[in-house]
Chain A
Amino acid sequence: MQNNAHAPNGKTAWRLIELETRPAAENMALDEACMEAIAANRAPPTLRFYRWCPSAVSIGYFQSLSQEVYLDKCRERGVDVVRRRTGGGAVYHDHAGEITYSILAPEKHFPSGIGESYVHICNYLIKGLSLLGIDAQFAPVNDVVVNGQKISGNAQTRSKGILLQHGTLLFDLDAGTMFDLLNVSKEKIKDKFIQSVNKRVTSVTHQKPGLSIEQVYGAIKSGFVHDKPVHAGAWTPTELERCRELAREKYANPDWTDLR
């Protein structure tokens, strides 16, 4: 499928990569490989959903690895560590407790303002959560919250006219592991010390106990695809080849991970 493929109604056809599970370096490499493919008109706008195995910590492009992550504890627990190409904060991606999405398309598909584009894309997530009976809102600058508690963090980058936004949806919260692995700045949480993590962060299972991750994925996917023609698709051989290259040479490379 080419970037300029259209559905019968003239709207651009999107490719959907259904929920898949990969290691951290591959997950980040696929985002970059897909951006490159779209920029070269070798792939259509793409929506993908994924999980992380092994569980992983990702840090934002501008963060200091040594200041944000307890590397020894990650090693002890077999948790991957990867630096994202997007800004934002450190995230613990629990294999069993999170669904991640990426949306990648030429910038013309989104509002031009950064804040407006965050709202636009996060509204897909909010729509999906509403299908589960969860009333969520966008919380500037890049979060989605339920009753003020964070349920999703999102990060965006733009390159060669292509916008990438990826974000998390907390399905189940393992706050203990999260805070064993992440070195949360005292400045960052100084005004929140009196609140427990469980009061600042929430998850789908906390809001709606009993839902399976498949049910949640189905609803979130519906939220993202409701306004666009989407076709289930697959990575191209070129994208997979580029993914392997980027995973090996960049995202699994300590020089990149310890860049700052």
Chain B
Amino acid sequence: MPIGFSEFKSPGGKLVKAEATCTKDACKVKITGDFFLYPEETIHALENSASGPLPKNVDAVQKQLEITLGLYQAQLYGIAPKEIAQTIWEAVQRAK
């Protein structure tokens, strides 16, 4: 299956990397980096929310991330949902 990678450094210096493993109509996303997320275990839920049917656009990815952060009452520090969404989106595009 095609794999796409992308990485982004935030203005504050924090780095997020996304790896997307995609089929024709779905993808599995892994998010790594040196940012902060509280509680930390929420990363798995974020990855799940970004995985599944291929996203239509970057806004859809961001919305899924924000919904998940709200559900888990989680907070990102050092990176914004929009920046993670953009990184995921680029990884998915490169995996196609």
B36–A156 touching, CB < 8 Å: yes
**B52 in the interface (beta carbon within 8 A):** no
**B12 in the interface (beta carbon within 8 A):** yes
B 5-44 to A, binary, CB cutoff 8 A, 1 in contact else 0 = 0011100111101000000000000111111111110010
**A90 in the interface (beta carbon within 8 A):** yes
How distant is A104 from chain B, measured CB to nearest CB, in Å? 15
**A85 in the interface (beta carbon within 8 A):** yes
User: Which residues from B are CB-within-8-Å of A156?
Assistant: 36
**A64 in the interface (beta carbon within 8 A):** yes
Give the contact stretch, choosing among A16-24, A55-63, A119-127, A219-227.
Answer: A55-63
**A7 in the interface (beta carbon within 8 A):** no
B43–A62 touching, CB < 8 Å: yes
**Top 7 A-B pairs, shortest CB-CB distance:** A89-B34, A87-B36, A141-B78, A64-B32, A141-B12, A187-B7, A61-B40
**A232 in the interface (beta carbon within 8 A):** no
Count: A-B pairs, CB below 8 Å? 70
- CA A157 to CA B38, docked complex, whole Å: 7
- CA A63 to CA B19, docked complex, whole Å: 12
A260–B15 touching, CB < 8 Å: no
A contacts with B, residue count (CB < 8 A): 27
A67–B32 touching, CB < 8 Å: yes
B contacts with A, residue count (CB < 8 A): 23
**A233 in the interface (beta carbon within 8 A):** no
Given contact pairs A63-B32, A63-B33, A187-B8, A159 touches B77 in the complex (Cβ within 8 A): no
**B75 in the interface (beta carbon within 8 A):** yes
- CA A114 to CA B33, docked complex, whole Å: 19
| A140 CB contact (under 8 Å) in B7, B12, B17, B43 | B12
| A185 CB contact (under 8 Å) in B15, B31, B40, B75 | B15
User: Which residues from B are CB-within-8-Å of A142?
Assistant: 36, 78
How distant is B50 from chain A, measured CB to nearest CB, in Å? 14
**A188 in the interface (beta carbon within 8 A):** yes
How distant is A81 from chain B, measured CB to nearest CB, in Å? 16
A155–B36 touching, CB < 8 Å: yes
| B34 CB contact (under 8 Å) in A63, A115, A140, A158 | A63
User: Which residues from B are CB-within-8-Å of A62?
Assistant: 31-35, 37, 40, 43
How distant is B42 from chain A, measured CB to nearest CB, in Å? 10
B37–A87 touching, CB < 8 Å: yes
